[in-house]
């Protein structure tokens, strides 16, 4: 009788850890995107109104030569932590997958680790860019109609 060889995933601890970490990062990103935000926030109308008023006041101070107020530091809450943890898990997964590649672990598992890690990062990046573009368009529309709103 011949002994059967061990499955390939038993010889790939770094690639398997990369896949698990990337899947965790992807799950965190998707849960935060679709179920969040978890910290209490103002309504979007209040936030946009405050932003438009702040832009107007900053422009007035700049035209009058007055000094701008000092920037404030954003507090860490659960939403900000999740926004950092999800892509960080993806990046660590990619690094672990490359370590697995250097250790000559099975190529398929290494590629899965890299792909899932990249997806965990890209979910956050694509969402951020889409929201940034939508926010800029909305803010430009509000600023062009500011006279009629305040008038």
**Cβ-count burial of 16 within 10 angstroms (0-12 exposed, 13-18 middle, 19+ buried)?**
buried
- Residue 86's pLDDT is what? 92
- The pLDDT assigned to 84 comes to 92
Identify the pLDDT of residue 71.
82
What would the two tokens of residue 138 be?
């909305």
Residue 98, pLDDT score: 95
Is residue 39's pLDDT more than 70? yes
The whole-chain average pLDDT of the chain stands at 86
Give CA–CA dist 21/19, Å, rounded: 6
Helix axes 13-35, 107-144, angle to 10 degrees: 20
Which of 21, 25, 37, 19 is CA-nearest to residue 113? 19
CB-based contact 15:106 (threshold 8 Å): yes
- Sign of the alpha-carbon dihedral angle for 98, 104, 109, 111: positive
Residue 150 pLDDT more than 70? no
Is residue 144 over pLDDT 60?
Answer: yes
| Spatial distance between the Cα atoms of 9 and 15, rounded to a whole number of angstroms | 8
| Mean pLDDT across 15-33 | 93
Decide: pTM greater than 0.85.
no
| pLDDT of the residue at 4 | 63
Do the beta carbons of residue 144 and residue 56 sit within 8 Å? no
Delimit the domains of the chain by residue range: 13-33+78-123
Question: Pick from 77, 68, 70, 87: which is nearest to 28 by CA?
Answer: 87
């Amino acid at each position: 009788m011949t002994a059967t060889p061990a499955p390939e995933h038993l010889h790939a601890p770094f690639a398997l850890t990369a896949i698990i970490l990337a899947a965790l990062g992807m799950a965190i990103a998707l849960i935060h995107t679709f179920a969040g935000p978890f910290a209490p926030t103002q309504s979007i109308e209040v936030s946009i109104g405050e932003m438009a008023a702040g832009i107007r006041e900053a422009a007035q101070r700049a035209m009058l030569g007055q000094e701008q107020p000092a920037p404030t530091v954003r507090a860490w809450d659960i939403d900000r932590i999740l926004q950092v943890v999800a892509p960080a898990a993806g990046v660590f997964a990619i690094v672990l997958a490359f370590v697995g590649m250097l250790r000559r672990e099975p190529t398929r598992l290494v590629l899965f680790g890299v792909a899932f890690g990249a997806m965990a990062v890209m979910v956050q990046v694509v969402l951020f860019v889409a929201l940034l573009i939508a926010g800029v368009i909305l803010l430009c529309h509000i600023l062009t109609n500011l006279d009629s709103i305040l008038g």
